[in-house]
Amino acid sequence: MIVQMQKVTVLGLAHDRAATLEALRELGVLHVKPVVPPAGTGLEQAREKWRGLQQLLAALPEGTSHPPTGRNVRAVIAEISERLNDRKEWQDRLNALKTEMVRVAPFGSFDPKAVKDLATQGVVVKLYRIPAKSMLPLPDGVTAQKLAVVKTDAYWVVMANAPFVWEGAEEQRLPEDSLEDMKLEATALRAGLANIEVQLEQLAADRSLVEAQVAKAEAELKFQAVRAGMGAAEAIAYVQGFVPAADVEPIRAAAAQHGWGLVVEEPGPQDDVPVKLRQPAWAKPIQAVFDGINILPGYLESDISVVFMLFFSVFFAMIIGDAGYGAVFLGLTLLFRKKMPRNASNLLVITSVCTMVWGLISGSVFGVPHAFLKTTFFAKFWIPFLDPLGENTPRNIMGMCFLIGAIQLSIGHLWNVVDLVRIKSLKALEQVGWTITTWYMFCVADSMIIRGNMLSFIGSPAALQPFTGSPLDIACLVGIALIVLFMMKPSEIKDSWFNLALLPLDIISNFTDVVSYVRLYAVGTAGFAVAYAFNTMIFSGDVSLLGGLIGAVLAFAAHTLNILLCVMGVLVHGIRLNTLEFSNHKGISWSGAPYRPFARQSTAA
């Protein structure tokens, strides 16, 4: 469920705003919405400090084996800053040297000091670059030597006993140091930079100290942002936000204690109310998906976590489709469970078990040929409806996909019916109409695509045959009539008439939504086909010991690639069916913003 929120305004004395915010932060229940755009010197200083500390933390490698240095955090931060400043300075110098060496290299190695000494003796030496095919005439009285040709340019040294200018040629500046000296300096700089990396790795042993400072700086940044976003009227400063209805009483008690003014009201339609979900314990793992793709239903919408969890588990199992892959997922999840977020690990355990069950009953284990599996104990798990060697099994699975789609989409519409009946809205009848047409589209998909395979299990009754003037067709017309009559009030037709004009397209879209669930069969079958093809190519014919070892390595690589492709299928198709097809029918826009209370973060010392 979506937790009910209350809009709260806390009023205090302007000169006491810091103490007011400290008390609110200790309560840790108010999701603050700025009254004015946050801006100010304090906020900018806090932001700069936070960014600086983040840069220091990012420079420290993770997972170092060095012991902590035992120094205090100020000394650690000072040394990291010094090392980073040295690294930047040396890296800039190294980059400049590389550029200069590339420029000077065509002229070879020489001592610039010797050239300057010649100038004091009246000998002028200049370096030039001209196009390689150029026929520029040399100045009178000079001695010239072509030193190199690089791509389309020729490089010359020109000498004379008097000043001269080579018209049309590009004179090159003398370097400060010789090429050999620059190479030596570059080598020293590279060694110095490598040493800095070693020092930073040693300093990474104190990473927890820097992380604590980053957390404190982030907390201060949030505090300054809230302070800068407070409203003010003469001697009064106020802060607004949203609080879960169950947490309003602590705010009231704090207001009485600190002498604040307090206004508590229901959020209005103009308010951007944050969303806090309270899911059943068994459905809470689906929060990992919500967090992973950063989605939440809007505050005035419904929490579909339960439906999402149930159907996503089924979709995951059908798309991965292989009991062996499910066992791999389960093993890896249990192995790395302590390093994973709790919701993510629990979700993977559930979906892995579902995948193993589906793979066993449908006869898919690492893409091993079904004819071979039939002679093993794995065949004992097969069920007739999904018998992998059955001639009708592909149509059975496709029909099952259509059925799953019709059920999930109907849940969305019937849920809407319940919600609309509660507010006594006649639009509930429109949702009844959509439920009827959804099941009509299931029968149409069954008839057109798999030749009535699913209806054959109940005797293919004539009453459920589409396009024959059957009671099913009449029911569809009734459903369409309910949609037309109750999709909007008569007073809304003037402004929303185009929804009526688009209704035929919406009905066709309803059919495509039901059919789109066949992607579960298509992607799952593709995964098995790829695994089967790899197995056949690698292990066909007689296999020697060496060939078996090489084949095992190739099989591991091939199945790893296939697993990654299957996971991509889950991310694309398994999530899409919930967040797009089902959500469109339920009316979920995923426009919600998460509830993030203004609270003090616990930090390590």
pLDDT in tens, 328-386: 999 999 999 999 999 999 999 999 999 999 999 999 999 999 989 998 999 999 999 99
Q: Structure pTM?
A: 0.81
pLDDT at residue 482 greater than cutoff 70: yes
pLDDT, position 552: 83
pLDDT in tens, 275-321: 999 999 999 999 999 999 999 999 999 999 999 999 999 999 999 99
Residue showing tokens 């030496």: 125
Share of residues in the chain with pLDDT > 90 (%): 80
Beta pairing partners, 239: 10
Higher pLDDT: 492 or 293? It is 293
pLDDT at residue 585 greater than cutoff 50: yes
pLDDT at residue 555 greater than cutoff 80: yes
pLDDT in tens, 88-139: 999 999 999 999 999 999 999 899 999 999 999 999 999 999 999 888 999 9
How many other C-beta atoms lie within 10 A of the C-beta of residue 186? 17
Q: Predicted confidence band at 187 (pLDDT cuts at 50, 70, 90)?
A: very high
How is residue 578 annotated by DSSP?
Answer: I
Q: What is the mean pLDDT of the segment spanning 202-206?
A: 90
Give the strands of the sheet with 124-131, arranged side by side: 143-150, 153-160, 124-131, 170-172
What region does 374 belong to: left with phi over 0, alpha with psi -120 to 50, or beta? alpha
pLDDT, position 279: 93
pLDDT, position 544: 67
Yes or no: say if 53 and 210 are a contact pair by the CB < 8 Å rule: yes
pLDDT in tens, 31-75: 999 988 888 889 999 999 999 999 999 999 887 788 888 888 999
What region does 158 belong to: left with phi over 0, alpha with psi -120 to 50, or beta? beta
Q: What is the mean pLDDT of the segment spanning 476-480?
A: 96
As a whole number of angstroms, the distance between CA 24 and CA 252 comes to 11
Yes or no: say if 390 and 444 are a contact pair by the CB < 8 Å rule: no
pLDDT at residue 602 greater than cutoff 70: no
How is residue 541 annotated by DSSP?
Answer: S
Both tokens of 307, joined, read 């439906």
Q: What is the mean pLDDT of the segment spanning 203-228?
A: 90
pLDDT, position 547: 65
Higher pLDDT: 493 or 575? It is 575
Both tokens of 517, joined, read 């669930």
Host H or E run for residue 254 = helix 248-258
Query: Mean of the per-residue pLDDT values for the chain?
Result: 92
Yes or no: say if 345 and 329 are a contact pair by the CB < 8 Å rule: no
Share of residues in the chain with pLDDT > 70 (%): 98
Q: Tell me the torsion sign for CA atoms 462, 463, 466, 470.
A: positive
As a whole number of angstroms, the distance between CA 527 and CA 531 comes to 6
Both tokens of 49, joined, read 């400090």
